[in-house]
Structure formats: structure tokens, C-alpha cells
Amino acid sequence: MFELFQLRCFVVVAEELHFGRAAARLFMTQPPLSRQIQLLEHALGVRLLERSTRAVTLTAAGQSFYMNARYLLKQADQAAIEARRIDTGRAGRVTLGFTAVAGYDLIPDLLSASRAELPEVDILLKEMVTLDQIAALSSNIIDLGFMRPLDARHSFAKELLIAEPLMLAVHVSNPLARKRTIRPADLKDEPLIMHSPDEGKYFYNLITALLGAAGVHPSYVQYLEQNHTILSLVRKGLGAAIVPASAKHLQFQNIVFKPLWKSEIQAEIYLVWRSDSHNPALASVREFTLKHCRRSRPAA
């Protein structure tokens, strides 16, 4: 079988049709160049060049092989470039897990920006709740996760991306829609649609702690998992709901979002990854994500 170096020698000779000029281009002398061409012809079992004291010409087989040899060399060069890009993290694939809230606005913005800054990195999305992301990250199914705060049991690397306030979502006809800020007493007799204590555990704990500290004991009419489902009931006037401010991006009609009395109680999203990951593209996407979020969405 022939070698790439032999191909390079042949292509230069075919382009120059002169061993002296070809040898100069290859920074070698004529005898070893002639030897490489002979070895190539022997490996192929065909004559590629016609040589005389006055000229060098390509045989019919040589003309055909020249075009294919150029293609093979181009592919080999491209393979080397691609390998270096992947090794440095400039190319490759990163699988990114995210919660539904992150998908409202953050993920679309991130993907749009990544096309310009990381054009050779494929970002594959997987929508998962935080608990599923933890399992997927542990088994290397995902490389990065947009998650709610983790407890101390998990040793993943993480960095805070977003901290957003909670707001009260109410139907436009609700008297609370005309208030500037919602106070604890305003919720005394207000039916609330609440996050599930199981599938929506993070928001359930956050909201019950907020209400409990204010001495509010509302009437919960439904317990649901996802914010978009909760807002679909608010839209029909079936109750109010406390949701993260990013839920406004869902753009439900006839819903008004009002700030709460305690704006420092915020919903957090962390970027989480394995510090022992062997995916070179992970670092590129992670640093790009952190930079993008700091630039466009400073923490409140």
C-alpha cells in the first residue's frame, strides 16, 4: 500500500512535469524523489509517468490517479485540521440538558449566539427536570446542565447563571392586576395554583418558604409541574400563581405579572458540569455560556 508522502511527491511531479523543480518544491534531492515515485508505481502496479531525457509526461493512468491523489491529500489535511480543532475544543459536540424555564428564552438566545462564536460545535438539547439531569450527567448522557440548585450530596462543578425574582401571575380581570406590588395580605383569600411538591419540588419549597415567612396560608386549588400548564389555568381565571419572572416570555394572553413584596427571594439556575469530563468541546461551550449570560443577563 502506498503512503501519503508518496502521493505528495507524485502530485508535485505531476504539476511540475520536471523532477528537478519538483524536488526543489519538496526540499529534497532528485534521487530520493525518483525512488518514491518508483515505490508508488510498484505499489499500484501501474506506470504513472513517462520519462525521457527531454520530458516527463503523465500516462492515462497517471492523469486519473493525479486527480484522486489531490482529493486524498486534501481529505488528509482536512482530517488533521479537524482533529486539532476537536482537541482544542473549537469543534465537536456538546449535549446540553435544560429545565423548561430555561427553554423559554435563555436557550434560544444561547443557541443563536453560538452559531457565530462556535460555528463548528454542535449543541444537542435535551429537556429534563433537574433530577433527571443529575442522573444524565452522572452517566455522561449530557455534558452540561441548566439546573436548579443542587444539594450537598452532588460534587459536580457549577456556577450561577441566572437569579430571577418571583412574580404573581393573575388574570387581567383580577383586582390584584391593578396593584403595583403584591403584599402578603393580598393573598389571604386568593386561590393559588401551586407547583407540585414532587415534580415541581424546587418551586414548591421556594414559594411555601416565602409565604410561610410572611404568615400567608393560601388556598391551593391545583398542584402542577410546569409553569406553562400553571399559566394556562391562570389565563382562564381559575386562580393566581407565583412563577419565575422568565415565565413572562411564554406570552399568555390576559395574564398580568406583578412584583412581590420580597424581591430578594429569587429562582436560580446553575450551569453544572463534570470536572472529570473528557469532552474537549465542553470547556468552549461552558466558557461561552458563562460569558454570554454575564453579558446579557447579569444576576439580579
Domains 4-88 and 92-161+268-296 alike in fold:
no
Residue 258 has which C-alpha cell?
406583578
pLDDT (tens digit, 9 = 90+) per residue, 39-76? Answer: 999 999 999 999 887 889 999 999 999 999 999 998 88
Query: pLDDT category, 299, cuts 50, 70, 90?
Result: very low
Question: Looking at the predicted structure, is the pLDDT value of residue 256 above 90?
Answer: yes
What dotted CATH number matches 4-88?
Answer: 1.10.10.10
Superfamily classification of domain 164-267: Periplasmic binding protein-like II (3.40.190.10)
Q: Are 165 and 262 in contact (CB under 8 A)?
A: no
Question: Looking at the predicted structure, is the pLDDT value of residue 298 above 60?
Answer: no
When the pLDDT of each residue in the chain is averaged and rounded to a whole number, the result is: 89
Q: The whole model's pTM is what?
A: 0.66
For the purposes of burial, counting CB atoms within 10 Å of the CB of 100, is it exposed (0-12), middle (13-18) or buried (19 or more)?
middle
Task: Please tell me the distance from the alpha carbon of residue 28 to that of residue 37, in angstroms, as a whole number.
Answer: 13
What dotted CATH number matches 92-161+268-296?
Answer: 3.40.190.10
Amino acid, res. 50:
E
Helical residues (DSSP H) of the chain, grouped into ranges? 4-16, 19-25, 30-44, 60-88, 106-117, 130-138, 201-213, 227-235, 280-296
pLDDT (tens digit, 9 = 90+) per residue, 136-178? Answer: 999 999 999 999 887 767 889 999 988 999 999 999 999 999 9
Query: pLDDT category, 300, cuts 50, 70, 90?
Result: very low
- Give the domain ranges of the chain: 4-88, 92-161+268-296, 164-267
